[in-house]
Structure 1
Amino acid sequence: MTFGLLDISLTLLALHLAGVAAAVHAVLTVRTSQGAVAWCIALLTVPYLTLLPYLFLGRRRFADYVAARRFVVERMHEQAAQLGWRPLRELASDLIVSPGHGCVRTWSRLAGLPTTGHNRARLLVDGEATFAAILAAVGAARHCVLVQSFIVHDDATGRALQRVLIERAVAGVRVHFLYDSIGSHALPARYIESLRAAGVEAHAFVATRGVVNRFQVNFRNHRKLVVVDGERAFVGGHNVGDEYLGRRPPLSPWRDTHVELLGPVAALLQLCFTEDWYAATQRVPALRMPKQADGGTVACQVIPSGPADRFETGSLMFVEAIHAARRRLWLSSPYFVPDEAVSAALRLAVLRGVDVRVLLPSRPDHRVVFAASTLYACEAARAGVQVFRYRPGFLHQKVVLVDDEIALIGSANLDNRSFRLNFELTVATIDAHFAREVEAMLAADFARAEPLGPGALAALPLWRRVGMSLARLFAPIL
């Protein structure tokens, strides 16, 4: 059977009509005007190239999904209360945040979680330190272990974690393991089967279900979290895999950061895990009540964010951090695709005389994202932001330092996907001593970086500037 000119014309007409319908859908459902415009232009001009990506990426925020997620959270809190788990606000230490840190109060209201005191924090620089600390803590667990990761690989690092989880489960410790179904798509079934056979509760986080939504790849759970015995927690940028220890070229050595936390903040981090676990299983996991850390002086604010939030928590968290800076604002992120609110806040910080520095990788792991990120970085440099490219290897850490006391470490990148599409987790610490440790770490990173001058964009060849401008059209979905 052969297709004639009429058949081809009808097919193209059908695709264009479908593109018009999808463009109307984008106008009605996409969360930002920039995103709606980008999708409309693409769907109306080249629907035969963009209809399929729109099926996967375009439907950002289903009203039914948001309602379902909020219903899940409410049900989880009801079940937790029935199990005798006291309200977390009763566990939060009395802490008066100084007037100079109004941003912490804002984050607390934005997240709907209290700021806790009497915590201890330890900076974990790079994968060797991070996984050594996590494996040691999990190996010493006596009651319960909660593990959550976006990516888990069945390699030496993944199997090391698998062994210690199995060992603890066999010893009678309640172990819960949550991984994202898209981020860990390459994880073989035998990995999970081995965990379950030993008594580990292992489940995938699936954002949407049903025939229509089966292709939906938004609403990913990008959080990285480990909580041991309700007292010791780990948060940061590391997923589980050899590349996060710098064992896989060409991106090695891998540069990343985690933080180890002890104290009442673990209660709030258990809550974050519990909401995600309940969404995946409709059950409340094993929980332990935390206690004050001996000698703990660090105040902590947990800031979870996700597509079902009442406000755009991810973007507003960064905006508030930038506006709070009076002397210094140092940011490190693997991706730099800010929205207009973040871009404007950075420019205003420069005008206030703040030392604004942004540390980015010099090597791409996603070429389209890197191209768009380069254009935004050049524009930021032209506006007076000090932009640096980290030279030794791939930079994956997500760290913000505000003045002399506040540091944020977590999973959120400076891009729209973290702002509005992914579930992310960040912890803000308020402590001068810990902030000095973060300052020393970032200063060492900047010393190994190359500055991006204000004339960097003009120096690039025309074809690269055109390519970067085209890549920026996809910024709302990057």
Structure 2
Amino acid sequence: MTYLLPELPTSVGCSVTPLIDGAEHSAAIREALESVGPDGFVYLTGWWLGLGRGGFELLPNGDARLTEAPPYCVDPWPEGEPFVDPANEESALVKLLAARIAAGAEVRALGWVSASAVRHPRATKLGGAAHVTAINTLTLRSLRELRAVGAEALPSTIGHLAGSSHSKLMLISDGRNTVGFTGGLDLELSRWSRPDHHGKQIWHDVVARVQGPAVQGFYDHFRTLWEASRSGRPQNLPLDNARFVSVPASTTSLPPRAVPISATEGSQSVQNLRTLPATKYPWYVPTRPTSLPEANVFEYRDALRHAIGQAQRYVYLEDPLMWSGEVMTWVRDAVRRAPDLRVILLTAGVDDPNDPPLPHPEYFCQTVNHALLAGLDDTEQARISAYRRRGVVVHAKTVLVDDEWACIGSCNLAQRSLYTDIEHGIAFTGGVPAYREKLWSHHLGTTPAGALPAWLDAWPTAKPLDRVALPVDEVPFSARQRRRYQDFHDPDSRQWRVRIL
């Protein structure tokens, strides 16, 4: 039995270190940057780049107001963290990158920007997405800061009209070895948290630090996005009463190359997982392609479906959305097939404060009651449990199967992540039990003694968790809500079209 997808390339001899929450992630970034010199490089891409104190807050009228700091960030800021230097409120990460540039290193950055959102904020607000304009503005400010210190920095305006460039990836090389980071955590101030989630530190996330041959896939993915962004027609994007040129004339190409990798790294096997959306779709003008060189790449979907299909002991899904009925049907089928299989779902105890109100109860009801539990008898349903992490934004996107396979990345359990947004992550084998113990002890608030059954049995009584009664209370789901779900909140690029609502 193989849990890795046979059709995908597999990199052996890798080392994967799961990093839980922002404090561990930022410390690993700082450590990796320290050795970068004239032969090195740093490449990063994110859905939201927030490299300073700027933030925003959502207003009751649906607007989003830019602020000096995120309203729920840590204050005072811990000295030495690589996002903000509290002495002068400058971005410490930008300063670290500036020092690497001064030492001769190459630094490139991509940040997702919807050109229509920053050009037409009023229309974006009417569509319920004022937060996108605010996030894109903060990303453009970060790109401007990076350009000021000598980095090449581009807004990533590529992709599907209903999607985004959602990869959160960083690649750091000292010229002799390269380390990659991929996961759910944006380089943004309010995402930082220690594992105890004390006070305003409400954000939980997971990032994989990867070394070994698999980092070549990180480079290839970043290069795909860089070249697609660079080759687009330059745009003048509005920013703080001025214009931000999307692609300066001095922007250089990123050639195909083999990244430097240490001869011996580890014993784990890794697959790079991507989502690259369909390039043509119905619209009110003739269909047009995106600028991506590849399309209909749904490796994340295929890897998830295959691994869940192999499950015998447990499937653990941790995600803020849980919107994909398709994923839940794979889990349901696994429960029917494997009589001893246990299923655990973990999602957020509080909503992401950066998002406008979303119909989470309606979507969760459709996913759980009408996909996951549909057709299961009482005995089968009893092997499925769901929890919320009390007071914490569970933003991680990770799945574990049987202590044999795990994935970490930017892909939510939602149709938009499987088919429409640009995503990146990894699947790996080897070291999964250690990852499971680290992650679960973080949520359980304790470290159970014993083997896997003891850990599975600890979930119902864990103090940091609220158990969700299954099936959940039925919530009406109108035809209008279904259209909005399909067209805007969770679109599928293979069949997307906008209708008058």
Secondary structure of 2:358's counterpart equals helix
Q: Distance in 1 between matches of 2:25 and 2:409?
A: 13
Shift of 1:192: 2.6
Secondary structure of 1:105's counterpart equals coil
Q: Distance in 2 between matches of 1:189 and 1:440?
A: 36
Provide the residue aligned with 2:281 in structure 1: none
Q: Give the TM-score taking structure 2 as reference length.
A: 0.66
1:238 maps to which of 144, 167, 185: 185
Shift of 1:171: 1.4
2:148 maps to which of 164, 180, 197: 197
Does the Cα contact within 8 Å between 1:123 and 1:438 map onto a contact in 2?
no
Provide the residue aligned with 2:137 in structure 1: 186
Provide the residue aligned with 1:116 in structure 2: 11
Task: Tell me the amino acid that sits aligned with residue 466 of structure 2.
Answer: E
Q: Distance in 1 between matches of 2:318 and 2:187?
A: 21
Provide the residue aligned with 1:220 in structure 2: 164
Q: Distance in 2 between matches of 1:102 and 1:290?
A: 28
Residue range with higher mean Cα deviation, 138-147 or 187-196: 187-196
1:289 aligns with 2:259: yes
Does the Cα contact within 8 Å between 2:46 and 2:166 map onto a contact in 1?
yes
Secondary structure of 1:104's counterpart equals coil
Does the Cα contact within 8 Å between 2:109 and 2:143 map onto a contact in 1?
no
Task: Tell me the amino acid that sits aligned with residue 181 of structure 1.
Answer: V
1:130 aligns with 2:120: no
Pick closer, same or farther for the CA change 1:475–1:316 going to 2, 3 Å: farther
Shift of 1:420: 1.2
Bigger helix fraction:
1
Shift of 1:187: 1.7
Does the Cα contact within 8 Å between 1:349 and 1:356 map onto a contact in 2?
no
Bigger strand fraction:
2
After superposition, the C-alpha distances for 1:64-83 in whole angstroms (9 at most, x for unaligned) are: xxxxxxxxxxxxxxxxxxxx
Provide the residue aligned with 2:52 in structure 1: 155
Provide the residue aligned with 1:168 in structure 2: 100
Secondary structure of 2:316's counterpart equals strand
Q: Give the TM-score taking structure 1 as reference length.
A: 0.69
Secondary structure of 1:289's counterpart equals coil
Secondary structure of 1:166's counterpart equals helix
Secondary structure of 1:329's counterpart equals strand
Task: Tell me the amino acid that sits aligned with residue 485 of structure 2.
Answer: A
1:256 maps to which of 182, 194, 205: 205
Provide the residue aligned with 1:76 in structure 2: none
Q: Distance in 1 between matches of 2:191 and 2:405?
A: 26
Q: Distance in 1 between matches of 2:328 and 2:139?
A: 41
After superposition, the C-alpha distances for 1:382-409 in whole angstroms (9 at most, x for unaligned) are: 7523211111311000111111221100
Secondary structure of 2:473's counterpart equals helix
Note the 1:266-345 alignment, pairs <5 A: 266-282=215-231, 283-284=253-254, 289-292=259-262, 294-308=264-278, 309-310=295-296, 312-339=298-325, 341-345=326-330
Secondary structure of 1:203's counterpart equals strand
Does the Cα contact within 8 Å between 1:375 and 1:468 map onto a contact in 2?
no
Provide the residue aligned with 2:242 in structure 1: none
Question: How many equivalent residue pairs?
Answer: 358
Does the Cα contact within 8 Å between 1:251 and 1:394 map onto a contact in 2?
no
Task: Tell me the amino acid that sits aligned with residue 349 of structure 2.
Answer: S
Q: Which runs of 5+ in 1 are unaligned?
A: 1-99, 109-113, 209-215, 459-464
Q: Distance in 2 between matches of 1:369 and 1:170?
A: 48
Q: Distance in 1 between matches of 2:481 and 2:92?
A: 39
Q: Distance in 2 between matches of 1:180 and 1:135?
A: 23
Provide the residue aligned with 2:404 in structure 1: 405
Shift of 1:295: 5.0
Task: Tell me the amino acid that sits aligned with residue 174 of structure 1.
Answer: E
Secondary structure of 1:457's counterpart equals coil
Pick closer, same or farther for the CA change 1:468–1:237 going to 2, 3 Å: farther
1:206 maps to which of 149, 152, 157: 157
Shift of 1:372: 3.2
Which of these two proteins has the greater Rg computed from alpha carbons?
A: 1
Pick closer, same or farther for the CA change 1:243–1:374 going to 2, 3 Å: same
Does the Cα contact within 8 Å between 2:276 and 2:297 map onto a contact in 1?
no
Provide the residue aligned with 1:454 in structure 2: 470
Shift of 1:355: 1.2
Q: Distance in 1 between matches of 2:209 and 2:411?
A: 17
Does the Cα contact within 8 Å between 1:304 and 1:426 map onto a contact in 2?
yes
Secondary structure of 2:270's counterpart equals strand
Does the Cα contact within 8 Å between 1:122 and 1:259 map onto a contact in 2?
yes
Provide the residue aligned with 1:35 in structure 2: none
Provide the residue aligned with 1:70 in structure 2: none
Shift of 1:456: 3.2
Does the Cα contact within 8 Å between 1:120 and 1:293 map onto a contact in 2?
no
Task: Tell me the amino acid that sits aligned with residue 347 of structure 2.
Answer: L
Provide the residue aligned with 1:78 in structure 2: none
1:349 aligns with 2:250: no
Q: Distance in 1 between matches of 2:403 and 2:113?
A: 39
2:435 maps to which of 434, 437, 444: 437
Q: Distance in 2 between matches of 1:120 and 1:256?
A: 20
Provide the residue aligned with 2:63 in structure 1: none
Shift of 1:470: 6.2
Q: Distance in 1 between matches of 2:185 and 2:327?
A: 24
Task: Tell me the amino acid that sits aligned with residue 428 of structure 1.
Answer: A
Pick closer, same or farther for the CA change 1:439–1:285 going to 2, 3 Å: farther
Shift of 1:291: 2.4
Q: Distance in 2 between matches of 1:451 and 1:424?
A: 30
Q: Which runs of 5+ in 2 are unaligned?
A: 54-82, 85-90, 115-131, 232-252, 279-294, 444-458, 490-501
Secondary structure of 1:303's counterpart equals strand
Shift of 1:203: 0.5
1:374 maps to which of 341, 356, 364: 364
Provide the residue aligned with 1:466 in structure 2: 476
Q: Distance in 2 between matches of 1:130 and 1:269?
A: 17
Shift of 1:186: 2.1
Pick closer, same or farther for the CA change 1:316–1:420 going to 2, 3 Å: same
Q: Distance in 1 between matches of 2:416 and 2:151?
A: 31
Provide the residue aligned with 1:388 in structure 2: 387
